[in-house]
């Protein structure tokens, strides 16, 4: 199936060609004709499936050429990184048109954004908070919007943006086409859908809960004290090109990043305590190959288009099962394969159990050859990972003490 059969405008097909896409991905095949026909669409495909182009291509096709009054398209994104990335996709795909694309997000000055908004544009990509600021200052008007995209809606909910999103949607004309993308549909998103959308068609690619299908994932049980050594040994032994290491907190990300640098890895650190410049530099350096390890907290987990990550390592088990799916979605993007490793200490076992329930199957537990493991309840006498269900007992809050249950 080729892009030319989908009904996209000629200059947009040229843009697709210039990007080097040869065939539409499954979500593009399903969503593009629906969006072209004017239908509201809910997409529940995982990130990494080509979902940005799935909405950008038909919308750009329908816009045609630059119009004086705009923006006609508003795309809301939960984070600045995502907003910047989606803007780049719109620009790339529309490069053979005269359409104008701009992005607004917080953490940087207003000047240049205000200038762009004043100059007139067709497509505006924005994070909710900064867009509301511009609206209050009279710099952004939404009364010409014909196409509204609510991307990563579940993440917007997690980040507490839903009230902002609603305030923005109220200012967009009712006669519009709305697309919403969300990996999961919790009740608050379901009610947003009811309120903001008009008889939407659902496009679901694969099971909503299953992580990107090409990713192989395994768990390395390890005592907390040995985690950093195991991480180092993993990096020494595995055949990787680029890896994202996810940590629970900013502090831990800084600590692990510094630790890996001491051991001669080229490391970038990405979390919300860093300035916008530092964050952009980290991402750019990682994309360019200046850094081969990116240590990040969950803000980086969603949707970031860091292409060709060969491995994801969860230094900490995510406490929300959804985050596991999103984190490991960083590898295996658009049909390439990747590996996802999760370090699990005793206290993490219940989170792993939650994740396994969420994704609907168990994750294989393995040990790293040649690593000097401390004796632990995580392993059997012969050093094999102890099947989780056979570990009996209770743990104190730090997870250190193992107290067998009396039978
Ligand atoms: P997304 O899910 O939108 O974040 O896209 C993930 C990655 O897949 C991005 O790097 C896109 O440039 C790429 N991509 C999107 N559509 C295609 C396609 N049809 N063929 C190959 N790569 C694609």
Angle between helices 187-196 and 162-170 (to 10 degrees): 0
Q: What pLDDT was estimated at residue 240?
A: 79
- Residues 147, 285 within the same domain: no
Q: Tell me whether residue 227 is in a domain.
A: yes
Give the DSSP letter of residue 65: S
Within-domain flag for 344:
yes
Query: Which pLDDT tens digits describe the chain residue by residue (407 residues)?
Result: 689 999 999 999 999 999 988 888 888 999 999 999 999 999 987 666 788 999 999 999 999 999 988 899 999 999 888 999 999 999 999 999 999 999 999 989 999 999 999 999 999 999 999 999 999 999 999 999 999 999 999 888 888 899 999 999 999 999 999 999 987 788 889 999 999 999 999 987 754 445 555 667 899 999 999 999 999 999 988 877 788 999 988 999 999 999 999 998 999 998 877 787 888 888 888 888 888 899 998 766 565 666 567 788 999 998 888 788 777 766 655 545 678 899 999 889 889 988 887 777 788 899 998 899 988 888 888 888 887 654 444 443 343 344 434 33
Task: Kindly compute the dihedral angle of the four CA atoms of residues 265, 270, 309, 77, in this order, to the nearest 10 degrees.
Answer: -170
Using alpha carbons, select from 325, 335, 315, 343 the residue that is nearest to residue 244: 315
Domains contained in the chain, number: 2
β partners of residue 74: 124, 148
Question: Are 294 and 369 members of one domain?
Answer: yes
Kindly state whether residues 135 and 270 are assigned to the same domain: no
What's the domain range around 173?
3-204
Identify whether residues 48 and 140 lie together within a single domain: yes
pTM of the predicted protein model: 0.63
CA distances from 186 to 193, 311, 357 (A): 11, 29, 17
CB 259 within 8 A of CB 228: yes
pLDDT attached to residue 166: 96
Place of tokens 């989606």: 86
pLDDT in the model for residue 130: 96
Pocket test for ligand 1, best of 3, 17, 50 (most atoms within 8 A of CB): 50
Pocket test for ligand 1, best of 25, 27, 77, 155 (most atoms within 8 A of CB): 25
**Cβ distance 61 to 13 under 8 Å?**
no
pLDDT at 335: 47
Residues 129 and 103 reside in one and the same domain: yes
For residues 317 and 307, give the distance between their C-alpha atoms in angstroms, rounded to a whole number. Answer: 23
For residue 221, report the distance from its CA to the centre of ligand 1, in Å. Answer: 34
Instruction: Indicate if ligand 1 lies below 6 Å from the C-beta of 151.
Output: no
Q: Tell me which residue of 140, 73, 83, 75 sits closest to 107, measured CA to CA.
A: 83
Domain boundary among 204, 229, 254: 204
Distance of alpha carbon 59 from alpha carbon 178, whole angstroms:
11
Asked if 357 contacts 320 with a C-beta cutoff of 8 angstroms, the reply is no
CB 46 near ligand 1, within 6 Å: no
Say what the pLDDT of residue 341 is: 92
> What whole-number distance in Å separates Cα of residue 365 and Cα of residue 5?
45
In whole angstroms, what is the distance from residue 140 CA to residue 114 CA?
Answer: 8
C-alpha of residue 65 to centroid of ligand 1, in Å: 24
Does ligand 1 lie within 6 Å of residue 334's CB atom? Answer: yes
Atom number of ligand 1 nearest to Cα 46: 2
307 lines ligand 1 (CB under 6 A): yes
Task: For residues 61 and 143, state if they share a domain.
Answer: yes
Residue 190 located in a structural domain:
yes
Helices (H), 145-186: 153-158, 162-170
Choose the final residue of a domain: 204, 236, 262: 204
Classify residue 209: in a domain, yes or no. no
Same domain, yes or no: 303 and 169: no
Q: Do 259 and 181 sit in the same domain of this protein?
A: no
* Burial (0-12, 13-18, 19+ Cβ within 10 Å), 115: exposed
Other Cβ atoms less than 10 A from the Cβ of 236: the count is 11
Question: How many C-beta neighbours within 10 Å does residue 62 have?
Answer: 18
CA–centroid distance, residue 21 to ligand 1 (Å): 8
Question: Does residue 48 have its Cβ closer than 6 Å to ligand 1?
Answer: yes
210 located within any domain: no
Distance 31 CA to ligand 1 centre (A): 14
User: Please, are residues 338 and 271 in contact by the beta-carbon 8 Å criterion?
Assistant: no
Are 148 and 169 contacting, i.e. CB atoms less than 8 angstroms apart? yes
Per-residue pLDDT at 400: 39
What is the residue whose two structure tokens read 């690593």? Answer: 371
Residue 193 placed within a domain: yes
User: CA torsion, points 89, 150, 325, 342, in degrees to nearest 10?
Assistant: 70
What CATH number does the domain containing 386 carry? 3.40.50.300
Q: Please report where in the chains the tokens 């730090």 appear, as a residue.
A: 398
Determine the distance separating the centroid of ligand 1 and the alpha carbon of 343, expressed in angstroms.
Answer: 29
Identify whether residues 193 and 222 lie together within a single domain.
no
**Last residue within a domain, chosen from 153, 182, 204:** 204
Same-domain status, 225 and 294: yes
Q: Are residues 220 and 197 in the same domain?
A: no
**Is there an atom of ligand 1 within 6 Å of 15 CB?**
no
Q: 169: which 2 tokens?
A: 């949607």
Are 221 and 368 part of one and the same domain? yes
């Amino acid at each position: 199936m080729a892009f030319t059969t989908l009904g996209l405008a000629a200059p947009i097909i040229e843009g697709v060609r210039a990007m080097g896409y040869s065939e539409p991905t499954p979500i593009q095949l399903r969503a593009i004709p629906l969006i072209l026909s004017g239908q509201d669409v809910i997409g529940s495909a995982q990130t990494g499936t080509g979902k940005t182009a799935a909405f950008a291509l038909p919308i750009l096709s329908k816009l045609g050429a630059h119009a004086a009054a705009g923006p006609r398209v508003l795309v809301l994104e939960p984070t600045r990184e995502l907003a910047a990335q989606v803007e780049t996709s719109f620009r790339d795909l529309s490069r053979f048109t005269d359409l104008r694309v701009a992005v607004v997000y917080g953490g940087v000055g207003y000047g240049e954004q205000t200038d762009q908004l004043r100059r007139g544009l067709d497509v505006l990509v924005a994070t909710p908070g900064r867009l509301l600021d511009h609206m209050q200052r009279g710099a952004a008007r939404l009364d010409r919007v014909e196409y509204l995209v609510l991307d990563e809606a579940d993440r917007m909910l997690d980040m507490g943006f839903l009230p902002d999103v609603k305030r923005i949607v109220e200012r967009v004309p009712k006669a519009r086409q709305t697309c919403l993308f969300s990996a999961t549909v919790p009740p608050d998103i379901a009610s947003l859908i009811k309120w903001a959308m008009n008889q939407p068609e659902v496009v679901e690619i694969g099971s909503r809960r299953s992580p990107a299908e090409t990713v192989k994932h395994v768990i390395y049980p390890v005592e907390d004290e040995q985690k950093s050594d195991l991480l180092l040994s993993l990096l020494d032994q595995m055949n990787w090109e680029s890896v994202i290491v996810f940590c629970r907190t900013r502090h831990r990300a800084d600590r692990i990043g510094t630790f890996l640098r001491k051991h001669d890895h080229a490391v970038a650190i990405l979390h919300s305590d860093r300035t916008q410049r530092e964050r952009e530099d980290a991402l750019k350096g990682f994309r360019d190959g200046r850094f081969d390890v990116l240590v990040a907290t969950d803000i980086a987990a969603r949707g970031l288009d860091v292409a060709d990550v060969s491995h994801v390592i969860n230094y900490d088990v995510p406490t929300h099962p959804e985050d596991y799916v999103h984190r490991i979605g960083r590898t295996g993007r658009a049909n390439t394969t990747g590996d996802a490793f999760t370090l699990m200490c005793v206290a993490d076992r219940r989170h792993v159990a939650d994740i396994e329930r969420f994704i609907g199957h168990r994750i294989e537990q393995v040990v790293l050859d040649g690593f000097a493991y401390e004796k632990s309840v995580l392993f059997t006498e012969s050093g094999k990972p102890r099947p989780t269900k056979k570990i009996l007992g209770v743990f104190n809050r730090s997870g250190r003490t193992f107290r067998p249950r009396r039978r």
